[in-house]
Amino acid sequence: MQGCLLKRVDHTPYTQTDYYRATLQELGQQPPVTGESDSLQVGWAKVNITPPAGSPLAGYGKRRGLRYSAVHDSVWVRTFAFDNGHTEVFFVSLDMLIAPMTVTAELEKAYPELGLKPGQVYLSATHTHTSFGGWGQKLIGWVMAGRYSEQIVKQTAAHIVRSIQLARQNKQAARLGYGEAYISRLVRNRLTGSLAGRDTTVRFFKVEQASGKTAVLATFAAHPTILPSMDPVLSRDYPGEFVDQLEKTVDFAAFSAGAVGSQAVVALHGDSYQSTAAVGQQLAAAIKRKLPAVEMQSKVRLGYSRHRLFLPEPQWRLTDNYRLAPSLFHWLFGKYPTYMNSMQLGEVVLLGVPADYSGELLPELEQQGQPVMVTSFNGGYVGYITPDRYYKLDENETRAMNFYGPQSGSYFTEIMKRIRRSYLLKGSKTTKL
């Protein structure tokens, strides 16, 4: 019986595996699409995605499908459209726990009518743990996000499509700039407690339309888990306050979770809306101080890619040395295709990961020189990706939420470095209009 249910953990070096070779082949066959011109158009839009009261919340298994009875602040999809005449890309941010796989599949049915390929739409989420669920089909999906609702999935996808259409319609000649701010007091490493192992950077784009309207797209790497887990109230957590505060200064703002793996937000006033307000306000203030100095460009390189990411057998451990059989894992979690998404905005490469990617892994990506912006939850989910050296820690992130084994950190990071390098190599050959 044990032979059917359990297997030993596989420690084969990933560089010697078929899945690694298959991913490298995929990367080699599909270089990023890039283009540069002397003009840039940008549009933006938001659409309310709040489902009716009585829908389940997503984010904590102990809720067991708890349904919300009140809305503290509505949840939205916020979308940017970028177009330089050669390349058109869309950045989508959802006020949800993740960009769910079921919603991704529904969107892919709609892209052809929009004249888009899936790679042109970069999905992300704020990762609030107090938004709606109802999008998980398998047992673990029901535990984390409540009973599945086809209506919620279809309506959410329809709202995203509408946001893409509106952002496209609202495009104007624009300039784009990139900036960074730093706010270490709001982040702690919840895995190790290390002060060094934190990503404390607020990364952001500033957009100026020819009409004078301005917008900000920002990421920050700290889990939005401030609010009480058993409170039946829908909320965006601190990212909601963050964009609301920014929109007192700019015309539009969007937030996406960065490399939030291992990183917790420091709740300044406990698990309360006072804390979400304080964190959001401080993050917004950090960006506002930097906005006037951001260097703006109208000649902007745009690019995108979407690569299939091949994975090893699931290695969801029950003990240090034994894992659940892959067939049982897929029965509990489902089996979905996995991708790495990327987008180039100017000199910055954005990397979309189907996971809680650890902020401790960012320094290795940043060694390549040009700015990089990592976002988690790109329309797939494969658990937590943490540094390999922590694999034996008996912690939630390295045991219960590590789905694919002892070398996930190294494997994901190498593939992300290769994707980023492909943009650097393509840059010198980019078509200019």
Per the annotation, where are the binding residues for Zn(2+)? Answer: 127
Binding residues: 127
308-311 CB contacts, 8 Å cutoff, 24+ apart: 308/23, 308/26, 308/337, 308/338, 308/339, 309/23, 309/338, 309/339, 309/340, 309/354, 309/415, 310/18, 310/19, 310/20, 310/22, 310/23, 310/26, 310/338, 311/19, 311/338, 311/382, 311/404
User: Which two tokens mark 24?
Assistant: 């490298």
DSSP sequence for 406-418: TTHHHHHHHHHHH
Give the alpha-carbon dihedral of 17, 22, 28, 32, to 10 degrees: -120
Main-chain phi, psi angles of 105, to 5 degrees: -65, -40
Instruction: Report helix angle 150-169 to 101-114, nearest 10.
Output: 40
Give the alpha-carbon dihedral of 352, 357, 51, 134, to 10 degrees: 110
AA letter at 7 = K
User: Which two tokens mark 430?
Assistant: 């980019």
Token look-up 């979770």 returns 257
Secondary element (H or E) of residue 350: strand 348-353
Contact 125, 224 (CB under 8 A): no
Helices (H) and strands (E) in the chain, counts: 10, 23
Residues in the chain: 433
> What are the distances in angstroms from CA 80 to CA 9, 59, 163, 227, 271?
43, 26, 9, 28, 32
Of 333, 311, 338, residue with least CA distance to 105: 338
For 183-330, where are the E strands, in sequence order? Answer: 187-189, 201-209, 214-220, 233-234, 252-257, 263-265, 301-308, 322-324
